[in-house]
Amino acid sequence: MIDPDEGDVRFENEGTLEPLPVVMERTVVMRAVGLTKMYAAVTTGSGSSSKGSARPALELFRGLDLKVHSGEMVAIVGESGAGKSSLLHLLAALDTPTAGEVWCGETRLSSFTPRQAAEYRNRDVGYVWQFHYLLPEFSALENVAMPLLARGTRRSEALEKARVWLGEVGLGDRAEHRSGELSGGEQQRVSLARALVTEPRLLLADEPTGDLDGKTAEAVFSLIQRLHAAHGLTSVLVTHNLEFAERCDRILKLKEGRLVDARSPVG
Ligand SMILES: Nc1ncnc2c1ncn2[C@@H]1O[C@H](COP(=O)(O)OP(=O)(O)OP(=O)(O)O)[C@@H](O)[C@H]1O
Ligand SMILES: [Mg+2]
């Protein structure tokens, strides 16, 4: 059976004796099923009445489903406040859904203990934040080595790998600079190297070019595209930049709590 939703590709035997039918299945790497996320109301004052409520309850996502296939580069777009960052947090096991499940391969993220979630983030996920969150007092090299040191890799080995990755992002000559001394674009490239130094299979990036000027944003996005292809990554990128979104394999728009295919009909 071909499930079109699974993206199967089948070369049919067209009546001759050979070649035999070949079925190539594209592996689903990341899957979210029926996601809901509730942020509870916060009340001020005493009592349980809603009177004096400082913040009402908020429901994000209404049975949100997502499948990302191996090697895909998927753009997530949507209005500010739609829940894009919240969704990436769920995919990275930085947060847990109120209902529904997130799977990475055969692993169900909601079954994780906090320690397993941390291991998953360190092993499987490279995460790029909009505001990089580098440690300004540490060198670029030390920042990139940090995820390896966190998993117990020997310092000399971690620094050696970090140096290779700084070269990959074109910053081999900035290794000893403190990250606080680097430009915004350079800092974002360092954070990309930090995300990938552990050789994860998933790259999750939350507006990785959102804080950069046009030319620098273009350079960082092109670098992400190159690394995605060169390292066989599966990537989910949140972006407000529709031109960058168009360069991804798929564009999904987060709208009214669901993801809808938003590839423009032309081109
Ligand atoms: N920890 C939290 N507690 C309560 N509400 C939250 C929390 N995190 C996010 N929200 C709310 O959830 C909604 C979605 O936030 P989110 O950051 O996911 O949006 P976004 O689509 O990433 O927006 P932007 O494009 O501005 O980054 C917002 O209304 C936000 O205020
Ligand atoms: Mg956001």
Give the model's pLDDT for residue 129.
92
Give the model's pLDDT for residue 132.
80
* Atom 29 (ligand 1) nearest CA: 81
* Atom 16 (ligand 1) nearest CA: 83
Q: Find out whether the beta carbon of 77 lies less than 6 Å from any atom of ligand 1.
A: no
> Which amino acid appears at position 176 of this protein?
E
Please write the tens of the pLDDT for every residue from 89-122. Answer: 999 999 999 999 999 999 999 899 999 999 999 9
Q: Find out whether the beta carbon of 83 lies less than 6 Å from any atom of ligand 1.
A: yes
Q: Find out whether the beta carbon of 162 lies less than 6 Å from any atom of ligand 1.
A: no
Spatial CA neighbour of 146 closest among 135, 137, 130: 135
State the Cα–Cα distance between residues 203 and 120, nearest whole angstrom: 13
State the Cα–Cα distance between residues 11 and 18, nearest whole angstrom: 11
Q: Average pLDDT of each block of 10 consecutive residues along the chain (267 residues)?
A: 46 54 77 94 63 77 95 97 96 96 94 95 95 92 97 97 97 96 95 97 96 94 97 97 96 95 65
- Helices 140-150 and 184-196 pack at an angle, to 10 degrees, of 20
Give the model's pLDDT for residue 10.
47
> Which amino acid appears at position 52 of this protein?
G
The closest-lying atom of ligand 1 relative to the alpha carbon of residue 83 is 18
* Atom 26 (ligand 1) nearest CA: 80
Domains in the chain with CATH codes: 26-41+56-124+202-211+233-262 (3.40.50.300)
Q: Find out whether the beta carbon of 41 lies less than 6 Å from any atom of ligand 1.
A: no
Give the model's pLDDT for residue 245.
97
Cβ distance 171 to 185 under 8 Å?
no
Give the model's pLDDT for residue 11.
45
CA of 126 to the centre of ligand 1 (A): 21
Give the model's pLDDT for residue 91.
98
Plot region of 152 (φ>0 → left; ψ -120 to 50 → alpha; else → beta)? left
Q: Find out whether the beta carbon of 81 lies less than 6 Å from any atom of ligand 1.
A: yes
Eight-state DSSP code of residue 74: E
Q: Find out whether the beta carbon of 191 lies less than 6 Å from any atom of ligand 1.
A: no
